[in-house]
Amino acid sequence: MNEGMTGSYVADLEAIRAAGLWKGEREMAGPQRPRGRVDGREVLNLCANNYLGLSDHPALREAAARAMEE
């Protein structure tokens, strides 16, 4: 990578942070569901593909396990 480009990205990121525009990632505790906990608070999860809450449904987990065994 060109060293000049690296310096440009670093300066841009520093400017974003200095302007208060940096968005850090937050960790959601537990399985991806429509509602979850972030920083100890219950939140509505609008950023996952599991909007129906099926990712940990027992029937789907069992079907996935069978499929992997086959």
Per-residue pLDDT tens over the stretch 2-48: 455 677 889 999 999 999 999 888 887 777 777 888 888 898 888 77
Burial class (CB in 10 A: 0-12, 13-18, 19+), 11: exposed
Q: Where are the beta strands (DSSP E) in the chain?
A: 35-38, 41-44
Per-residue tokens: 61:
């987990």
pLDDT at 65: 94
pLDDT at 39: 86
Q: What is the pTM of this model?
A: 0.41
